[in-house]
Amino acid sequence: MLSDQELQRYERQLTIPGWGESGQRKLNAARVAIAGAGGLGSSISTYLAAAGVGTIRIIDSDDVELSNLNRQSLYDEIDIGKAKTDSAKHRLQALNPDITIETFSQPITSETVVELVTDYLIVDALDNLETRLLLNRVSQQQ
């Protein structure tokens, strides 16, 4: 059952025909791995957190830079020099404290990819073709 707070938080999407509490419970149980916390990853993670995806795993090895701020909505000037994953987690937990945010501040490599994304729906928000192809290969094996 959804709590009173969840019923209020998700009120608008609960009224979507065919969605209701059952759909929201499925979303709350979902596990999504977002590869990349840049421009695309910032927007995707914000919307998934607001919608109530139960577990969001953010994977990115970069730190916030001043040049990120014009297109990466999760970060502010006070985040410059910090790991993107740490700043993203802080912002997303403030947006929706009822979900779980997991972070990994490491590159996705052939040695780490299986551990990082197995049993998660994978969202590719990367700007690196080699890593995108690696994620694609692993996702086809799942």
DSSP 8-class letter at 96: -
- Block mean pLDDT (10 aa), the chain, length 142: 94 96 97 98 98 98 97 97 98 97 97 96 95 94 82
Domains and CATH numbers, the chain: 4-141 (3.40.50.720)
Q: What is the pLDDT of residue 141?
A: 87
Q: What is the pLDDT of residue 66?
A: 98
Query: DSSP letters of 31-90?
Result: EEEEE--SHHHHHHHHHHHHHT-SEEEEE--PBP-GGGTTT-TT--GGGTTSBHHHHHHH
Q: What is the pLDDT of residue 1?
A: 87
